[in-house]
Homo-oligomer: A and B are copies of this chain.
Amino acid sequence: MLRMIFDQIPPKVDSYLAGYIPAQPGSLYDPVRAALSSGGKRVRPTLTALAAGEAAEAAWLPAAAAVELLHAFTLVHDDIMDNAETRRGRPAIHIAFGLNAAILSGDAIVALATGALAQSPNAGDMLAEFSAGFRAVCEGQALDKEFEDRDDVSVKEYLTMVELKTARIFELAAALGAIANGGANIEILRRFAREIGIAFQLQDDLLDLTGGESFGKTIGGDIIEGKRTVLFVLAMQQHNDIQGEDLRLLDGIRECSATLEDVPLARTLFRRLGVLDETASMAAKYTKSAERQLESLPDMQRNGLLEFSKRLLGRTV
Q: Are B146 and A134 in contact (CB under 8 A)?
A: no
Which of the segments A102-110, A231-239, A299-307 contacts the partner chain? A102-110
User: Assuming the A-B contacts A81-B104, A103-B80, A123-B127, are A25 and B110 also in contact, with contact meaning beta carbons closer than 8 angstroms in the complex?
Assistant: no
CA distance A125 to B121 in the complex (A): 11
Q: Are A104 and B141 in contact (CB under 8 A)?
A: yes
Q: Are B104 and A132 in contact (CB under 8 A)?
A: no
Q: Which single member of B80, B111, B135 contacts A138 (CB below 8 Å)?
A: B111
Q: In whole Å, how far is A145's beta carbon from the nearest beta carbon of chain B? A: 6
User: Assuming the A-B contacts A135-B115, A139-B25, are A100 and B128 also in contact, with contact meaning beta carbons closer than 8 angstroms in the complex?
Assistant: no
User: Assuming the A-B contacts A114-B127, A127-B118, are A145 and B107 also in contact, with contact meaning beta carbons closer than 8 angstroms in the complex?
Assistant: no
Q: Are A138 and B28 in contact (CB under 8 A)?
A: yes
Q: Which single member of B103, B111, B128 contacts A135 (CB below 8 Å)?
A: B111
Q: In whole Å, how far is A103's beta carbon from the nearest beta carbon of chain B? A: 6
**Binary B-proximity of A6-20 (CB < 8 A = 1, otherwise 0):** 000000000000000
Q: Which single member of B118, B138, B139, B141 contacts A128 (CB below 8 Å)?
A: B118
CA distance A77 to B77 in the complex (A): 12
Check A270 for interface membership: any CB of B closer than 8 A: no
CA distance A107 to B113 in the complex (A): 13
Quick one: copies of this chain in the complex?
A: 2
* Nearest-neighbor residue (CB-CB) of A117 within chain B: B127
Check A158 for interface membership: any CB of B closer than 8 A: no
Contacts of A83-106 to chain B: CB distance below 8 A: 100, 103-104, 106
Chain B residue numbers with a CB within 8 Å of A61 are: none
Chain B residue numbers with a CB within 8 Å of A276 are: none
Chain B residue numbers with a CB within 8 Å of A106 are: 107
* Nearest-neighbor residue (CB-CB) of A137 within chain B: B111
Q: Are A118 and B131 in contact (CB under 8 A)?
A: yes
Further contacts, 5 of them, CB under 8 A, given A77-B107, A110-B134, A114-B130? A25-B143, A77-B104, A106-B107, A107-B107, A115-B132
Q: Considering the complex of A and B, which 6 residue pairs feature the smallest CB-CB distances, nearest first?
A: A124-B124, A28-B142, A115-B131, A111-B134, A114-B131, A123-B124
Binding site for B on A (CB under 8 A): 25, 27-28, 73, 77, 80-81, 100, 103-104, 106-108, 110-112, 114-115, 117-118, 122-125, 127-128, 130-132, 134-135, 137-139, 141-143, 145-146
